[in-house]
């Protein structure tokens, strides 16, 4: 009985792992294809499609745009999320529960709808589409996430440390900079990196809110119009590699916080 459970478990787990990794493996393997179609039989390995990606200025500038939007919008989202989490956790505010609900509300709304709403408003305001408008959209989707992560980590035991600092004569700003920020940094970094991965991957808001200069997912989307193409495989593999690095950093931060 025990042995049977073990055997079935192993078989099932392997099948699921296979399913999960199938598209990634196919993507990466056929990015090394030396002929023009990313379908069997495999003709590589060759790096010609990576060279094609790196010499394509549209793709490389989209990559820089994506990085800039991800870093800046995540920094804003994490800063606003931290300040509001601190405010809600430490001070009694009128209508606190409602306001917290309001800040987390965008989490339940599809990116498509958020992007469309912003498009309507920016149209009325006469703001042209740009990387900035897309960045504003990314803050909207990541702010609730940052708030929720940081707020959930603000324990009551930390209040006492802050109180002690205040009793010893520290001003609010010194408490914030010297006590609260250092205590909270794992949560802040976790929310920052999570926001960066989401912004890095985000498509539909960037698609709706940018025009000429755009982000990498939108540029990849444009590539898809040409059908199956090893160049798309190559750029997709590169994007995957960046996301995995971000994810590993995130994992290391979480690991340090909770030693397993």
Partner 1 sequence: MLVTPALLWTLLFFVAPFVAMALLSLNFQSSDGLTISNYTQFFTNPSYYRAMINSLEVTGMVTVISVLLAYPFAWILAEQIPARLQRLALLLAILPFWTSYVVRSYSWLLVLAQQGVVNEALMRTGLFTEPLQLANTRTATIIGFVHFFVMLLTLTIFASLKQLNPSYRKAATDLGAGPIRTFIYIILPLTIPGVMVGAFLTFVLAIGDYITPQILGGNNELLMPQLIMMQIGRRGDFPLASALALILMAVVTIAYIACARWLKIERT
Footprint of partner 1 on 27-66 (CB under 8 A): 27, 30, 38-40
Smallest gap from residue 167 Cβ to partner 1 (A): 21
Q: Which is nearer to partner 1, 12 or 51 (CB)?
A: 12
Only one of the segments 13-21, 50-58, 67-75, 159-167 lies at the binding site for partner 1 (rule: CB under 8 A); that segment is 13-21
Residues 195 to 254: which contact partner 1 by CB under 8 A? Answer: 197, 200-204, 208, 216-217, 220-221, 224, 228, 232-233, 236, 239-240, 243-244, 246-247, 251
Smallest gap from residue 6 Cβ to partner 1 (A): 7
- State the number of binding residues for partner 1 (CB under 8 A): 89
Verify binding: residue 177, partner 1, rule CB under 8 A. Answer: no
Q: Which is nearer to partner 1, 189 or 208 (CB)?
A: 208
Verify binding: residue 68, partner 1, rule CB under 8 A. Answer: no
Three-state secondary structure string covering the chain: CHHHHHHHHHHHHHHHHHHHHHHHHHHHHHHCCCCCCCCCCCCCCCCHHHHHHHCCHHHHHHHHHHHHHHHHHHHHHHHHHHHHHHHHHHCCCCCHHHHHHHHHHHHHCCHHHHHHHHHHHHHHHCCCCCHHHHHHHHHHHHHHHHHHHHHHCCCCHHHHHHHHHHHCCCCHHHHHHHHHHHHHHHHHHHHHHHHHHHHHHCCHHHHHHCCCCCCHHHHHHHHHCCCCCHHHHHHHHHHHHHHHHHHHHHHHHHHHHCCC
Q: 127-166 mask for partner 1 (x: CB under 8 A)?
A: ---------xx-xx--x---xx--xxxxxx----------
Only one of the segments 46-54, 67-75, 97-105, 163-171 lies at the binding site for partner 1 (rule: CB under 8 A); that segment is 97-105
């Amino acid at each position: 009985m025990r042995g049977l459970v073990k055997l079935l478990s192993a078989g099932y787990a392997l099948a699921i792992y296979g399913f999960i990794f199938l598209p990634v493996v196919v993507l990466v393997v056929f990015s090394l294809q030396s002929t023009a179609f990313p379908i069997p039989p495999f003709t590589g390995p060759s790096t010609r499609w990576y060279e094609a990606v790196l010499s394509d200025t549209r793709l490389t500038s989209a990559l820089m745009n994506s990085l800039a939007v991800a870093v800046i919008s995540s920094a804003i989202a994490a800063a606003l999320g931290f300040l509001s989490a601190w405010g809600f956790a430490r001070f009694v505010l009128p209508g606190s529960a409602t306001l917290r609900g309001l800040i987390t509300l965008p989490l339940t709304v599809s990116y498509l709808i958020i992007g469309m709403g912003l498009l309507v408003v920016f149209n009325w305001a006469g703001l042209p589409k740009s990387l900035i408008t897309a960045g504003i959209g990314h803050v909207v989707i990541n702010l609730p996430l940052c708030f929720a992560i940081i707020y959930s980590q603000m324990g009551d035991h930390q209040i006492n440390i802050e109180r002690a600092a205040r009793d010893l004569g520290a001003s609010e700003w010194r408490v914030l900079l010297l006590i609260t920020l250092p205590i909270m940094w794992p949560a802040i970094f976790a929310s920052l990196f999570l926001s960066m991965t989401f912004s890095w991957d985000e498509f539909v808001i960037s698609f709706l809110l940018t025009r000429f200069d755009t982000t990498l997912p939108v540029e990849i989307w444009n590539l898809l119009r040409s059908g199956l193409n090893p160049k798309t495989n190559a750029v997709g593999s590169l994007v995957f590699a960046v996301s995995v690095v971000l994810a590993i950093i995130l994992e290391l931060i979480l690991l340090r916080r909770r030693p397993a």
